[in-house]
């Protein structure tokens, strides 16, 4: 059956103009003479070239570039060039317009940015290559002009906001990439608002049940919370104004994603998360009074409420690397509950919310720009062409997430390093040569080993020796991407030298045994000694791990090997799986269907059961693994190896049972274990595999592994267990 879509073209035209005018209003503050004309020209070009295109929702396509431009202007604070680029970001990719057309109409700079946007638009869309390599390319454009990434983030944010019309598997893929890369990137560029929204939207698609659960809980106590905030804020407001400060004091809810993170990290139920909101004091200060005003406000707050001395964070004196400046403290509220208070000026607040772009605007006034340093670091990392793309991505991502510490050189210069950095990281940060020859360090004048973990404020002097060279285990000592990549390339170089040496030795040995030195024989030898490459073979020969007698042994067995043929495991390829799946059900893997001759196993990391939202993942040597979409490993798998993911769904059947785990907590009572096991095995006739129970001062904490049919079965069981007297909580756990 076909549903006819009725479109009122005249009404649509009005709506497009309305949205365009809203965009102009949003960009008003940055507009200079002639800018409006440029934006109009870009809008007309986009409108004309996208005129026959529609989005999945049925809306005119032009809504999308207008929205992206509006986000760029309003939420990221970008100017006219970026607005023009945002309006045109999809035309080269999707329409007849060429880069030359853009350059002719809008100039070189605009064409270059759009070229960057077009190049990275394919970053995650390909199914053929590793996304990691593409991400590296994307960062190359960042080092070129950071606006490319900022507009790309605006594009991603709008796509995430309007993803309801996408098919489920696309939603999962896009949401995974977003949480894996785009949200950390937004964080690193200081775009906190964009980052939180991307995280929340990802969670909404990746883990809809938990998302809805927390949203509902938050909504239930909304009025109560508003009352509490009002009472908490009132006295602060009053005294702040009495002391002549101009300030806005308000409460701000934390994001659903950050609440969920806290629940997981601390293993606590929603009810025990105390910081569901933070109090903000935004001061209107003259530039020369900023720091003093922040501390004045801090003093007012801590006179009213007792602060937790461990929770004071001063990013006013030393801003974070992404430009974030703020004073954070946690104080005891009137009802015995900890409340986080964030104090900053309007300028600092704009940087906190809009990040990089706002930073640019204030650049003259701030003397040290951490973000420039960071982009410089990205450039350095990218300039190492030998780095393996996936390693690079992992190292880079770790650096995106980590917090910073501040370290001083002997002369008092400030160096920023990620939390957990060691003396060796510091050495590489100073200079590659210093790192490569580092044998130890003096931290605050005391001698320490290279693996010493640096603390905020340490003063470090590196000790070197020209006899020192980088070692393999140094890779476990350092955390910065820079040090890692320098060590790796130095080890590689070292290995190459050893291999060259081994190659000569092996040539001589083979000659003496009358074996021809050729690729075929080298491969046979590598295979015989179970080595992954001929380079490894050379290295082993050079290091004396393979000697003449070993090669003689090879000669003896060679005949036998020949007749058996090489013993290689048959690797499952994605294409093989997909061609096997080409049957009545299209390309969906039906779990529990034994007509399909495809081997699959349920992943042990998340123990999926029927009813769970799942996907199949084609592993290199272990067949297909079925994971839950909210599995802790899912985002990493889907965003890095999208092409290995196959759609999967449960075949309706009741005969099979699946292993899952339940954590039961409660007040220990005589007969509690009996009552629990009675519900499980007698009432529900469910088999238990194991049960471990911990009782501590009257608190019961048990883990039970059971076999259930599906999620509905499990839910019923959980509900009945909750009815057992003494039981206060039952949750499913992974692995």
Give the catalytic positions in this structure. 93-94
Of the listed pieces 51-59, 82-90, 175-183, 330-338, which binds Mn ion according to CB under 5 A? 82-90
What is the total count of residues that contact Mn ion (CB under 5 A)? Answer: 2
Report the candidate in 149, 232, 136, 244 with the shortest Cα–Cα distance to residue 194. 149
Residues paired with residue 408 on neighbouring β-strands, in sequence order: 414, 459
38, 75, 155, 290: residue in contact with Mn ion (rule CB under 5 A): 155
Report the candidate in 608, 731, 715, 735 with the shortest Cα–Cα distance to residue 663. 731
Of the listed pieces 9-17, 86-94, 184-192, 468-476, which binds Mn ion according to CB under 5 A? 86-94
In order, the DSSP letters of 481-500 are HHHHHHHHHHHHHHHHHHHH
Nearer Cβ to Mn ion (92/423): 92
Of the listed pieces 83-91, 268-276, 328-336, 563-571, which binds Mn ion according to CB under 5 A? 83-91
Minimal distance in Å, beta carbon 642 to Mn ion?
A: 18
Beta strand 460-464 with 438-443: parallel, antiparallel or unpaired? antiparallel
SS3 of 684-717: the string is CCCEEEEEEEEEECCEEEEEEEEEECCHHHHHHH
Of the listed pieces 150-158, 576-584, 601-609, 634-642, which binds Mn ion according to CB under 5 A? 150-158
Residues paired with residue 448 on neighbouring β-strands, in sequence order: 441
Nearer Cβ to Mn ion (155/197): 155
Nearer Cβ to Mn ion (111/283): 111
Are the C-beta atoms of residues 688 and 705 closer than 8 Å to each other? yes
Minimal distance in Å, beta carbon 144 to Mn ion?
A: 20
Nearer Cβ to Mn ion (90/458): 90
Are the C-beta atoms of residues 35 and 81 closer than 8 Å to each other? no
In order, the DSSP letters of 243-278 are TT--EEEEEEEPPHHHHHHHHHHHT--GGG---SEE
Nearer Cβ to Mn ion (155/200): 155
Count how many Cα atoms sit within 13 Å of the Cα of residue 75 in the half-sphere of its side chain.
21
Nearer Cβ to Mn ion (90/290): 90
Minimal distance in Å, beta carbon 155 to Mn ion?
A: 4
Minimal distance in Å, beta carbon 687 to Mn ion?
A: 51
For residues 153 and 75, what is the distance between their CA atoms, to the nearest angstrom? 11
Query: Contacts for 409-416 with beta carbons within 8 Å, 24 or more apart?
Result: 409/459, 409/460, 409/461, 410/459, 410/460, 410/461, 412/459, 414/318, 414/368, 416/321, 416/370, 416/373
Minimal distance in Å, beta carbon 191 to Mn ion?
A: 18
Are the C-beta atoms of residues 184 and 176 closer than 8 Å to each other? no
**Site pattern 90..119 for Mn ion (x: CB under 5 A):** x-----------------------------
- For residue 690, count CB atoms less than 10 angstroms from its CB and return exposed for 0-12, middle for 13-18, buried for 19 or more: exposed
Nearer Cβ to Mn ion (121/384): 121
For residues 620 and 617, what is the distance between their CA atoms, to the nearest angstrom? 10
For residues 455 and 471, what is the distance between their CA atoms, to the nearest angstrom? 24
For residues 457 and 388, what is the distance between their CA atoms, to the nearest angstrom? 34
Are the C-beta atoms of residues 399 and 393 closer than 8 Å to each other? no
Using rule CB under 5 A, residue 69 touches Mn ion:
no
Of the listed pieces 46-54, 88-96, 99-107, 271-279, which binds Mn ion according to CB under 5 A? 88-96
Under DSSP, the state recorded for 546 is S
| Window 320-379: residues binding Mn ion (CB under 5 A) | none
For residues 302 and 572, what is the distance between their CA atoms, to the nearest angstrom? 63
The phi, psi pair for 283, rounded to 5°, reads -95, 145
Nearer Cβ to Mn ion (75/90): 90
Minimal distance in Å, beta carbon 347 to Mn ion?
A: 32
The phi, psi pair for 406, rounded to 5°, reads -115, 125
Of the listed pieces 153-161, 498-506, 645-653, 668-676, which binds Mn ion according to CB under 5 A? 153-161
Minimal distance in Å, beta carbon 88 to Mn ion?
A: 11
Are the C-beta atoms of residues 147 and 85 closer than 8 Å to each other? yes
Of the listed pieces 155-163, 238-246, 350-358, 410-418, which binds Mn ion according to CB under 5 A? 155-163
For residues 232 and 212, what is the distance between their CA atoms, to the nearest angstrom? 29
Nearer Cβ to Mn ion (155/177): 155
> Which residue in the shown chain puts its C-beta closest to Mn ion?
155
Minimal distance in Å, beta carbon 53 to Mn ion?
A: 11
Nearer Cβ to Mn ion (120/609): 120
Report the candidate in 51, 72, 74, 75 with the shortest Cα–Cα distance to residue 63. 51
Report the alpha-carbon angle 548-553-557, nearest 5.
150
For residues 421 and 407, what is the distance between their CA atoms, to the nearest angstrom? 10
Positive or negative: CA dihedral 519, 523, 526, 531: positive
Minimal distance in Å, beta carbon 225 to Mn ion?
A: 37
Minimal distance in Å, beta carbon 108 to Mn ion?
A: 23
Of the listed pieces 89-97, 301-309, 498-506, 594-602, which binds Mn ion according to CB under 5 A? 89-97
Nearer Cβ to Mn ion (92/448): 92
Cα 662 to the center of its chain, rounded Å: 28
For residues 257 and 196, what is the distance between their CA atoms, to the nearest angstrom? 8
Nearer Cβ to Mn ion (147/359): 147
Minimal distance in Å, beta carbon 121 to Mn ion?
A: 7
Minimal distance in Å, beta carbon 346 to Mn ion?
A: 32
Binding site for Mn ion (CB under 5 A): 90, 155
């Amino acid at each position: 059956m076909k549903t006819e879509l009725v479109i009122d073209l005249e009404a649509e035209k009005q709506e497009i103009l309305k949205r365009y005018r809203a965009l102009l209003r949003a960009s008003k503050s940055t507009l200079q003479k002639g800018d409006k004309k440029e934006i109009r020209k870009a809008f007309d070009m986009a409108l004309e070239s996208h005129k026959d295109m529609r989005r999945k929702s049925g809306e005119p396509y032009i809504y999308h570039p207008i929205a992206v431009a509006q986000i760029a202007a309003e939420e990221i604070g970008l100017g006219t060039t970026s607005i023009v680029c945002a309006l045109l970001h999809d035309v080269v990719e999707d329409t007849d317009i060429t880069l030359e057309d853009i350059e002719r109409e809008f100039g070189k700079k605009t064409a270059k940015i759009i070229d960057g946007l077009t190049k990275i638009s394919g970053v995650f869309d390909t199914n053929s290559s590793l996304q990691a390599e593409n991400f590296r390319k994307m960062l190359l454009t960042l080092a070129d002009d950071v606006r490319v990434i900022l507009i790309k983030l605006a594009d991603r944010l709008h796509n995430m906001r309007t993803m309801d019309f996408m098919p489920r598997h696309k939603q999962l893929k896009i949401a995974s990439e977003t949480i894996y890369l785009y949200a950390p990137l937004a964080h690193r560029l200081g775009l906190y608002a964009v980052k939180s929204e991307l995280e929340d939207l990802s969670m909404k698609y990746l883990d809809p049940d938990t998302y809805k659960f927390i949203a509902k809980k938050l909504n239930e106590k909304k009025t109560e919370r508003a009352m509490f905030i009002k009472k908490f804020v009132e006295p602060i407001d009053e005294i702040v104004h009495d002391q002549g400060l101009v300030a806005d004091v308000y409460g701000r809810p934390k994001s659903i994603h950050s609440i969920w993170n806290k629940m997981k990290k601390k293993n606590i139920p929603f009810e025990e998360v105390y910081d569901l909101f933070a109090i903000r004091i935004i001061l209107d200060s003259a530039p020369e009074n900023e720091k003093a005003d922040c501390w004045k406000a801090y003093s007012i707050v801590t006179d009213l409420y007792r602060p937790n001395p461990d929770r004071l964070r001063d990013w006013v004196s030393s801003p974070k690397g992404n430009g974030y400046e703020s004073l954070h403290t946690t104080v005891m509220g009137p009802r015995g509950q900890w409340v986080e208070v964030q104090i900053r000026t309007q300028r600092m607040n704009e940087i906190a919310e809009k990040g990089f772009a706002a930073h640019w605007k204030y650049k003259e006034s701030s003397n040290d720009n951490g973000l420039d340093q960071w982009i410089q670091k990205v450039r350095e990392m990218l300039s190492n062409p030998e780095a393996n793309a996936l390693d690079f991505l992992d190292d880079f991502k770790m650096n995106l997430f980590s917090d910073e510490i501040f370290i001083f050189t002997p002369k008092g210069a400030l160096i920023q390093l990620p939390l957990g950095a060691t003396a060796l990281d510091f050495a590489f940060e100073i200079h590659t040569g210093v790192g490569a020859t580092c044998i130890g360090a003096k931290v605050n004048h005391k001698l320490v080993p290279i693996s010493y973990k640096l603390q905020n404020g340490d003063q470090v002097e590196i000790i070197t020796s020209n006899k020192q060279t980088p070692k393999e285990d140094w890779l476990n000592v350092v955390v910065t991407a820079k040090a890692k990549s320098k060590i790796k390339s130095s080890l590689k170089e070292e290995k190459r030298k050893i291999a060259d040496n081994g190659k000569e030795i092996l040539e001589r040995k083979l000659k003496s045994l009358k074996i021809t030195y050729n690729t075929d024989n080298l491969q046979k030898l590598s295979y015989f000694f179970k080595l992954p490459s001929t380079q490894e073979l050379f290295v082993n020969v050079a290091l004396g791990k393979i000697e003449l007698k070993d090669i003689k042994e090879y000669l003896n067995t060679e005949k036998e090997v020949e007749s058996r043929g090489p013993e290689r495991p048959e690797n499952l390829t994605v294409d093989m799986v997909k061609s096997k799946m080409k049957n009545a059900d299209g390309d969906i893997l039906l779990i529990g269907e034994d007509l399909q001759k495809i081997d699959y196993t349920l992943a042990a990391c998340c123990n999926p059961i029927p009813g769970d939202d799942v996907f199949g993942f084609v592993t290199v040597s272990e067949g297909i693994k079925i994971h839950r979409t909210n599995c802790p490993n899912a985002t990493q798998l889907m965003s890095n190896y999208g092409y290995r993911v196959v759609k999967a769904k449960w075949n309706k059947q009741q005969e099979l049972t699946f292993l899952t785990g339940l954590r039961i907590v409660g007040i220990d009572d005589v007969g509690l274990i009996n009552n629990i096991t009675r519900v499980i095995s007698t009432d529900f006739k469910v088999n238990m595999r194991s049960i471990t129970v911990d009782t501590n001062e009257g608190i019961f904490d048990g883990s039970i592994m059971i076999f259930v049919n599906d999620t509905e079965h499990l839910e019923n069981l959980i509900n009945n267990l909750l009815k057992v007297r003494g039981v206060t909580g039952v949750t499913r756990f992974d692995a």
